[in-house]
Homo-oligomer: A and B are copies of this chain.
Amino acid sequence: MSKKWVYLFREGDATMRDLLGGKGAGVAEMTRTGVPVPPGFTITTEACNTYYEIGGTFPDGLWEQTLEALKDIEAQTGKTFGDPTNPLLVSVRSGAKFSMPGMMDTVLNLGLNTATRDGMAQLTENPRFAADAYRRFVQLFGKIVLGVEGERFEHVLDEAKGHGQRQDTDLSAAELVQIAETFKQIIKADAGVDFPEDPQEQLRAAIAAVFRSWNGRRARDYRRINKIADNLGTGVNVQAMVFGNMGNDSATGVAFTRNPANGSPEIFGEYLVNAQGEDVVAGVRTPQPISRLKESMPEVYQQFHDIAKQLENHYKDVQDVEFTIEKGKLWMLQTRAGKRTAAAAVKIAVDLVREGVISKETAVQRVDPHALDQLLHPMIDPQARKSAHVLTTGLPASPGAASGKAVFDPDEAEHLATTGEQVILIRVETAPEDFHGMVAAQAILTARGGMTSHAAVVARGMGKPCVAGAGDLRINYAEQLVTVNGTTIHKGEWVTLDGGSGEVFAGRMPTVQPALSSDFAELMRWADEFRTMGVRANADIPHDAQVARSFGAEGIGLCRTEHMFFEGDRIDAVREMIIADTPEERREALAKIEPLQQGDFEGLFRAMAGLPVTIRTLDPPLHEFLPHDDHEIELLATKLGIDFKKIKSKIESLREANPMLGFRGCRLGIIYPEITEMQARAIFKAAVTVRREGIDVHPEVMIPLVGHITELKPQEEIVRKVARELFAEAGVTIPYLVGTMIELPRAALTADEIAQVAEFFSFGTNDLTQTTLGLSRDDSGRFLPLYVERKILTDDPFQTIDQRGVGQLVRIGTERGRATRPSLKVGICGEHGGDPASVAFFYQAGLTYVSCSPYRVPIARLAAAQAALGEARRDK
């Protein structure tokens, strides 16, 4: 006996998604719940896969089982396939496990030929309907099954209608019959085959076409983009036709059981009277809102309303349904979970809990953390957007929308901002010395750099929109303008960015500010109930810390002390420190920076009262703080009273072939211990000061880029010595921790040793990704997109953690660190801390907390809750 390839709808259910595909399982489940569904059957995904395995032929028994199932439909409908006296017509639809718009469209009215057409005409006493149905069928079959260019048919139709002088409905039965004949000639000419008049032949060809569509270009592209496996196969659904176009007591429509835009709990949809489903989708006529149905067919509407609620309750989620009314009888054709906006997702999830339909756990798992970005940032007014001209699209580096006047210089940006102007800073790429300009700007636009470039990281940290790596920009600093795809924007002209989509627009566009609903707050509260992993924020200045705290951050996981080095005049002292020849000179310069850093830390401690604040000692290569062109060097030389040549030669001596692997991180503090001393002093003085205000402070001092325990040890000793001395002096003792970043493979591999000294680890997954994969985030733009496109990598490893490689080191480091020190706190403070898939991984790896940019804190909270709830969310 051959395998069971075919399931009647009543034989399946929702759990059989793998075998029957989403649509098949859905219709089966609907059938099972007693909803009126036209009878039919599903050919399994296995049949599709087998079709490919055996070289594009039907597997043994498939056709026999299909004919058998067809008999069942015939029995249920009382109609017979191919019988001119009472013909059964069917639809044929593809349906894979995951919804795939890229696959085969539906073929309707299959079973029609000239004989059954005439039978239909007689039966319905409506020759025009029959002729129209036949015309539609030949057209669809020709296009979808036989692959004839759709334009060819449209052209004939268009001509028949006098090029827009008449409507579809104006065409007579005779005209339609003639059009169908012309269609058949086109098919013969283009596809080289006769249009099959035999209904069984039609069915056989349509099933094969569905199978083939699984490997069509569009379907493969869709799967690649949406990361769907190629070996799932598609099901084929064959279902008795019902007709929404059998008169004014017939109709067809689509609806959501709740509003998918804002989540409000009313049925939301539209329908067309006397039409087939394709008319709704194609937008040929303007459909009516579903509420009209209540007036025109109150009983049918009530039945529909009850079924909608029944389906929603059955599936415990908003449903997106298709229905047809045939001569006053309601048929449900399809149901599936409804796609919705983030705002709707939140409201619906919370409402369903209140209605007792789902649990809080389910609600928390229902909302895609990624989607929260929509809720947290301003967006371009959707109305304005429609008419906007997109200049170019870069990387969506930091979400949100903003308009401002184009400015190409950070100093000018700062200056204009103080005069109340809104500006957009446009740079080839940004460097730490541009920081003040970024602070002043509404948003940042760069021509170079990736999702973790300086501009992107800093912008996300500040919650400012940023479009990075817009390679089409040709920036001319000298003339203060940018040319992009033929348009030139001069300094002072308005531009608008959408950091969520990466789009750049000319001109000023209105934006809408999102308001966080009480439902959102409620959902996040529930998330926190289930969440077991901590969520902190990366924040360098008190304002960011406050924002982070308002978003629910439970501490600071990373304060990059050097981000304060560019503020105001302090950069001069920093440069003096770098140019110093002796420890004494260095100390002198550091003494100027110390009180400023202390002030910064005091602000952070106050903002984070009662919560831990992790402060990283100086990390970047020193040359990042020095000017690069001769003019600026000259200015600095004059200011500091130091010889131009000396500064120039110092800058030259700090030049590195590979700064990422160079003189940075703890290497700075080891060679110049006085820097670490100063920073430790600023931290503990600030802690003592704030503690005296009655505020609870929890400093955690973090040493970066440690590879050997022998690097951490001397730095730890400096920190502890400074703390001891200051506490003795102040007569106060403040508990604190000393720990390290784990951002080099060697650190992870020798975590057992490093944990002898470190009281906490924080995985710096940005740098760990760079070193583990030998991949510079600044330079990989040349090939990384191609890598992802060609499936060499499934994701950009700087956005979603490479679990097999970098993740392995995270696991190794965590396990070995805790083997030495069971109480070890282990966090992560790379960009991955705000990526839901990565957060799930960190949860599995047993991390104590993740730390991300302030605006990603809610995302991380929700993702961490979902991870704790133990289900990988798969909303496809």
Contact = CB atoms under 8 A, between A and B. Distances in A.
Contact of A774 (B661, B671, B778, B790): B661
Contact of A773 (B660, B707, B809): B707
A745 B770 CA distance: 10
A303 interface: no
Given A745-B772, A745-B805, A779 B710 contact: no
A767 interface: yes
A670 B786 CA distance: 9
Interface residues of A, number: 50
A665 B786 CA distance: 16
A775 interface: yes
A7 B56 CA distance: 92
Interface in A789-821: 790-793, 802, 804-806, 808-809
Interface string A748-776: 01100100000000000001001111111
A662 interface: yes
Interface stretch (A165-173, A411-419, A651-659, A862-870): A651-659
Interface centre among A711, A745, A805 (most CB of B within 10 A): A745
A745 B791 contact: no
A779 B749 contact: no
Interface string A660-694: 11110101001100000000000000000000000
B661 A779 contact: yes
Interface string A421-462: 000000000000000000000000000000000000000000
Contacts of A792: 670, 708, 710-711, 714
A7 to B, nearest CB: 37
A658 B775 CA distance: 9
A658 B805 contact: no
Contact of A802 (B746, B779, B808): B746
Contacts of A657: 659-660, 776, 778-779
A472 to B, nearest CB: 14
A705 interface: yes
A781 B663 CA distance: 9
Given A772-B745, A774-B771, A660 B658 contact: yes
A826 to B, nearest CB: 19
Contacts of A809: 745, 749
Contact of A808 (B749, B775, B779): B749
Contacts of A670: 783, 786-787, 790, 792
A267 interface: no
Interface in A718-764: 743-746, 749-750, 753
Contacts of A793: 708, 710
A776 B746 contact: no
A809 B747 CA distance: 12
Contact of A771 (B659, B745, B790): B745
A77 interface: no
Given A670-B783, A783-B667, A783-B670, A775 B661 contact: yes
A780 interface: yes
B772 A662 contact: no
24 contacts: A656-B778, A656-B779, A658-B659, A659-B779, A660-B660, A660-B774, A661-B661, A661-B774, A662-B780, A667-B783, A670-B786, A705-B774, A707-B774, A708-B792, A710-B791, A710-B793, A714-B792, A744-B774, A745-B771, A745-B774, A745-B805, A746-B774, A749-B804, A771-B771
Given A670-B787, A707-B805, A708-B793, 19 more contacts: A656-B778, A658-B778, A659-B779, A661-B771, A662-B776, A662-B779, A662-B782, A663-B779, A671-B783, A707-B775, A714-B790, A745-B772, A746-B805, A749-B772, A749-B808, A749-B809, A750-B804, A750-B805, A771-B772
